[in-house]
Structures are given as structure tokens and as C-alpha cells.
Chain A
Amino acid sequence: MSGTTAEPAEGEVTATEEVEGHGGEEQEYTLSSRIEHLNHELSVLALWGPLEEQQAEHAEPMSVVSSSWNLGSLASNFTLTNYTFWMMPAVLLLVLFFMAARSAAKVSLAKADYVPKGILNVAEAGVDLVRGNICTDVMGPEGAKYFPFVGTVFFFVLFNNLLGNIPPALPGTGTLGTTFLWGIIVFVVYNGIGIKKNGLGRYMKSFIPSGTPGAMKPLIFLLEIVSHFLRPITLGIRLYANMYAGHIMLGVFAIFCAVAIKNFTPVGAVVLPLSFLMQVVLRAFELFVAVLQAYIFSILTAVYINGALHAAEH
């Protein structure tokens, strides 16, 4: 499989044609090769990238964009994969959604009609969730001050996750680059807030809880430093693993369906409806996971900011 992944999109198309040409001769008709070829056919349809594509060290851009965009020597490693491509429509939708909600709010304020309807209602529910359930519940009344950042995180992740559930699209958060970057942004922001609020000396001192015996202090300090550096990593991996693994599952059952249709046997007749049903169930579960992961990501952001704010107290 590694031989074909290195080929550009055109090569993939010819590879698929070859498979269909050899199909009658029954050369290497094992199930695993079958699944490999089907996997490539699906990727040609831009429904699904080859399973190991994302794990490859230098992931080739997938079929939506035919070649990597060379942005000069500084950014020559930049490749637009399917995942990162779908981040752009998601952000565009996010901006358009809130611009529409803003203009709806202006209209309703001008008419002195304070009951939100339609898009404004949805936007208000979302904002209320983040400001009420995430910011002020975790950080207390002063949490509303950090709503802009936490809200940005929440809605970016939410729109990416949800867009990934519309079949040709993939979640922009289903790739480590995006999620790690957000983890690092959260790390920088919450440490910045902590240092700004407490001063560098007191913030660093807070890494050692009061009442620690003298000999234990260096060890505890080291442990706290490690646990702080693990935070962006776990934030990033949690989101990436949830989004990517969900789509792997969907892809596996899609391949099952495709295999069962292609060589229709009595076993296939049983597998096909079951895996189709599994697709439906998993799709519903993915919708739930999309919202849940956005919630968890932003609530942990709020918890970290809260910890940094009250660092001097313990």
C-alpha cells in the first residue's frame, strides 16, 4: 500500500482502472488486497483518504487538492490535506453564522422585539452555554471576562467537528496539526493569564503547594512542570483521537458495505445491512461526540485558566 500512497491523484485514478481491468483474471484476489483497492477507490471519490495516510510522516495531500502548495523555502513543508482544507469552510461558516446572528440581533433591537427567533436563538443558546455553563460555572463571576477566548475555542472546535459529519467533508480537528496548535494556544494563554495576574515569581511558587516538606519540594516542582506541559498534549490528542477514530470507524464500515456489494455472497447479504445500520448508529454517535468534545475542550480550557487565576491561593 505504501507504493501507491506516494503517487499523486492522477496515479490513483490509473491504479483504480488497473484493478478493475485485472478483476476478471483473478490474480491476487485476497480480501486484504480487495480492501486496499476499495480504500483507494473511495479516496479517489474524495470520500475517504487511505487509512494510513494521516499517520505517514510526510502525508501526501489527498485528492481534493492535487499537489502541495509550495510557499517558498520557509513554508515548503506546508501541505494542504483534506482535513486542513475542510477547516476553511468551517471557519467561513462560523464567521457567516455569527455575522447573520449579529444582523438579526440588530434588527430585533431596532424593533424592540427582545424574543430571539431563528438563527439568533441558536446563536444565543450557544453563547449562553459557553458563558453560563462553561465560563461562570467554572471560574465564577469573573469568568465572563474570559468568554471571548473560551468562546472562540468552543465554536471553532464545534463548527469543525460538526462540518466533519456532512459526508464529503472531514473534520478540520481530525488532524494532529490543528489540535496541537490549539493546545499550545491554550497553554500560552492560560500561563500568560496566570503570570499577568500573580506575577512570575508567585506563579512559579504556586507550583509547590504550601506545606510541602523541604526535601520534597524539587520533586513536586518537577512533577507540576511535567503535568503542565502534558496539558496541551492531552488537549490536542483527546480531540484528535476522538474525531479521527470516529471517522476511521465510519470508513471501516463503509468499506465493509462496499466489499459486500462488490462480491455479493450469502455472508455479504448478512454483513451489508448490519454494517449499514452501524453506519447510521455511528453517525448519530459522531454528532454527539462532536458536541461533547467541543464542550470538554473548552471546559478544560476554562479549568486551566481558573487554576492560573487562583494560583496564589494554594
Chain B
Amino acid sequence: MEVIGSISALGAGLAFGLGAIGPAIGIGMIGGKTIESMARQPEMAGRLQTTMFIALGMAEAIALLGFVLAFILQGVGA
């Protein structure tokens, strides 16, 4: 049982760590592109920011699935 516990703890860490790579890249791209667009058209900054936060929420959601999975995997070993 101890082996299962430690492996599931490792899996939990990996699930979140690996699952966060994609969303992290996505959030970086969203932020970078928003800054780029705001620099080009400062008068659009307000609307761009609103859209950015919505897109950030979508990208974050995928990382959060890994977060849930990590908790579920922790429960497997316990």
C-alpha cells in the first residue's frame, strides 16, 4: 500500500505539473498578444482587457482540471 501511496503522490504532482505546461504557454501568449494589440491601438485597451480576461479564464480552466486530478490521485493512495 505504501508503494501505491507514494506512486500516486508522484502522479498527483506530475498530473498538475505537466497539465500546467500547456495552459501556461497559452496564458503567456494571450497576455503577450494583448499587450502587443494594446500598444498598437491604445484606444481599444478596455475592450481588449475584457476579452483577455475571458480568454485567460478559458485557458486556466484546463490547468485547473489537472489540479482536480492531483487531488483525486492523492486520494487513491490514502
Q: Which residues of A contact B7 (CB under 8 A)?
A: none
Whole-angstrom distance between the alpha carbons of A296 and B64 in the complex? 15
A234 lies within 8 A of B61 (CB): yes
Interface residue? A291 (CB, 8 A): no
Whole-angstrom distance between the alpha carbons of A253 and B57 in the complex? 28
Interface residue? A137 (CB, 8 A): yes
Interface residue? A282 (CB, 8 A): no
A299 lies within 8 A of B50 (CB): yes
Interface residue? B47 (CB, 8 A): yes
Whole-angstrom distance between the alpha carbons of A303 and B61 in the complex? 14
Whole-angstrom distance between the alpha carbons of A234 and B63 in the complex? 9
Q: Which residues of A contact B68 (CB under 8 A)?
A: 233, 237
CB distance from A237 to the nearest CB of B (A): 5
Residues 1-51 of B contacting A (Cβ, < 8 Å): 46-47, 50
Interface residue? A184 (CB, 8 A): no
Main secondary structure of the interface of A (DSSP, over half): helix
- Known contacts A296-B57, A300-B57: does B64 contact A241 (CB below 8 Å)? yes
B50 lies within 8 A of A234 (CB): no
Residues 62-78 of B contacting A (Cβ, < 8 Å): 64-65, 67-68
- Known contacts A133-B46, A137-B47, A234-B61: does B54 contact A303 (CB below 8 Å)? yes
Interface residue? A217 (CB, 8 A): no
CB distance from A98 to the nearest CB of B (A): 25
- Known contacts A133-B46, A137-B47: does B64 contact A234 (CB below 8 Å)? yes
Q: Can you list, as one digit per residue, whether each of A196-237 has a CB less than 8 Å from chain B (1) or not (0)? A: 000000000000000000000000000000000010011001
Whole-angstrom distance between the alpha carbons of A295 and B54 in the complex? 10
CB distance from B2 to the nearest CB of A (A): 15
- Known contacts A133-B46, A137-B47, A233-B68: does B60 contact A238 (CB below 8 Å)? yes
B64 lies within 8 A of A138 (CB): no
Whole-angstrom distance between the alpha carbons of A175 and B12 in the complex? 20
B64 lies within 8 A of A238 (CB): yes
Interface size on A, residues (CB 8 A): 14
A299 lies within 8 A of B53 (CB): yes
CB distance from A144 to the nearest CB of B (A): 16
A234 lies within 8 A of B53 (CB): no
CB distance from A310 to the nearest CB of B (A): 15
Q: Which residues of A contact B61 (CB under 8 A)?
A: 230, 234, 238
A238 lies within 8 A of B50 (CB): no
Q: Which residues of B contact A230 (CB under 8 A)?
A: 61, 65
A residues bordering B, Cβ < 8 Å? 133, 137-138, 230, 233-234, 237-238, 241, 295-296, 299-300, 303
A-B contact pairs, 12 of them (CB 8 A): A133-B46, A137-B47, A137-B50, A138-B50, A230-B65, A233-B68, A234-B60, A234-B65, A237-B64, A237-B68, A299-B54, A300-B57
| Other contacts beyond A237-B67, A303-B54: 20, CB < 8 A | A133-B46, A137-B47, A137-B50, A138-B50, A230-B61, A230-B65, A233-B68, A234-B57, A234-B60, A234-B64, A237-B64, A238-B64, A241-B64, A295-B53, A296-B53, A296-B56, A296-B57, A299-B50, A299-B53, A300-B57
B residues bordering A, Cβ < 8 Å? 46-47, 50, 53-54, 56-57, 60-61, 64-65, 67-68
